[in-house]
Structure 1
Amino acid sequence: MKLFALATVAFSIMVAGASADPIADRKENMKERGALMRILAPVAQGQQPFDAATVLDALEKLSANAEAATDIDALWPAGTESGDTKSSPRIWEDRAGYQAASDKFAADTAAAVEAAPQDIDAYRAVFGPVAANCGTCHEGYRL
């Protein structure tokens, strides 16, 4: 009986995962990314005080967010080019380019976490490349 119950739960989870809405998932990913950038950017710009623990926490969350978005086939599958989305058709036309941009963002955020900046100058040095990725994607892959 326990085996049947476990199998039922596992199947339910698989079905729920299979019916996920990629557009909603990527919107949620980008919404989270934006919220984290609203923590990190003001610190880099000197509008908020530098606090190593706060910065590292936000960088760790941003890195996890970036890593989750490297599976572009899950978040930008064929057939999700239209609808309620701000994703440019260029994502589907230039899969390799978009994958490279996504991988670079993930690598730069991971490097920022690894650096664990302890002062504003060290933070700015690692945050610059992270922030530059946002502009690259927004200009090339966002409507």
Structure 2
Amino acid sequence: MIKRTIAASLICLTAATAVFAASEFGDKREADMKKIGGATGQLAGIAKGDKPYDAAVVKTALTTINTTIKEFPTLFPAGKPDSDGAASPKIWENMAGFKGHATELASVTDKLIAAPPADQKAVGAALGQIGKVCSACHEEFRLKK
């Protein structure tokens, strides 16, 4: 009887942990996308002339995008898609393609960090490169709401 109780408890604990983990991953994914969006917004403000060019802001924004996108694919562990449906099942169906977009964005931002945009116009061009990669990934893998 005790073995059955322990086994049942372990099954419930495992299920609860899986649900918590999915929620935790979802929250982290959302937070990471907001970080990237905020950094992109900083660059957009400079590119549009709403904010003055500031090399430190540009570097911080590019670094935020770079470090965040390098972590992002780890938030979609192997296995079945999220049971809550918050992330597109296409990610798990084509994980290599999904990771490829993340790698491409990391490469673009690596290059931009190494040779940062030096003025408003260059920030606009950099933002165009970043946006192209983001759009391609969102087109393929983001759920339309």
TM-score bracket, normalised by the shorter chain, equals 0.7 to 0.9
Unpaired runs of at least 5, structure 2: 1-19
* Cα displacement string for residues 31-87 of structure 1 (whole angstroms, at most 9, x for unaligned residues): 211111221122223333222221112111221112222xx2x311223433162x2
After TM superposition, what 4+ stretches of structure 1 lie above 6 angstroms from structure 2?
A: none
Could you tell me which amino acid in structure 2 is paired with residue 95 of structure 1?
Answer: M
Please report how far the alpha carbon of residue 138 of structure 1 lies from its aligned counterpart in structure 2 after TM superposition.
Answer: 1.5
SS of 1:64 mapped into structure 2: helix
* Bigger-Rg structure (1/2): 2
* Residue 23 of structure 2 is aligned to residue 34 of structure 1: no
The TM-score normalised by the length of structure 1 is 0.74
Q: How does 1:10-89 map to 2 (within 5 A)?
A: 21-69=24-72, 72=73, 74-77=74-77, 78-83=79-84, 85=86, 87-89=87-89
Please report how far the alpha carbon of residue 28 of structure 1 lies from its aligned counterpart in structure 2 after TM superposition.
Answer: 1.6
* Cα displacement string for residues 119-142 of structure 1 (whole angstroms, at most 9, x for unaligned residues): 122222322111211211221111
Provide the aligned C-alpha RMSD in A: 1.9
CA contact (8 A) 2:43 2:123 kept: no
Aligned to 1:13: none
* Residue 96 of structure 2 is aligned to residue 96 of structure 1: yes
Aligned to 2:138: 138
Q: What CA distance in whole angstroms lies between the structure 1 residues aligned with 2:70 and 2:91?
A: 17
Please report how far the alpha carbon of residue 102 of structure 1 lies from its aligned counterpart in structure 2 after TM superposition.
Answer: 1.0
Aligned residue pairs, count = 121
Q: What CA distance in whole angstroms lies between the structure 2 residues aligned with 1:84 and 1:24?
A: 13
Could you tell me which amino acid in structure 1 is paired with residue 134 of structure 2?
Answer: C
